[in-house]
Amino acid sequence: MSVEKFSSTGAQATYKSTANAGVLTSASQISELRERSGLTIDQLGRLFGVSRRSVHNWINGKSMAPQHEERASLVLGIINTLPGTTPQERRAHLLASREGKSIFHALLAQLHENATLQVSALSPRELIQL
CA distance 30 to 37: 10
> Measured between alpha carbons, how far is residue 11 from residues 28, 66, 90 in Å?
17, 15, 17
| pLDDT for 6 | 44
Tell me: pLDDT of 122 over 80.
no
How does pLDDT run across 46-105, given as a tens digit for each residue? 999 999 999 999 999 899 999 999 999 999 999 999 998 999 999 999 999 877 889 999
Q: How confident is the model at residue 125 (pLDDT cuts 50, 70, 90)?
A: confident
State the pTM of this model: 0.68
Q: What is the mean pLDDT of the chain?
A: 79
Where are the alpha helices (H) located in 19-130, listed in sequence order? Answer: 26-37, 41-48, 52-59, 66-81, 87-95, 103-113, 124-129
* Domain limits, the chain: 3-129
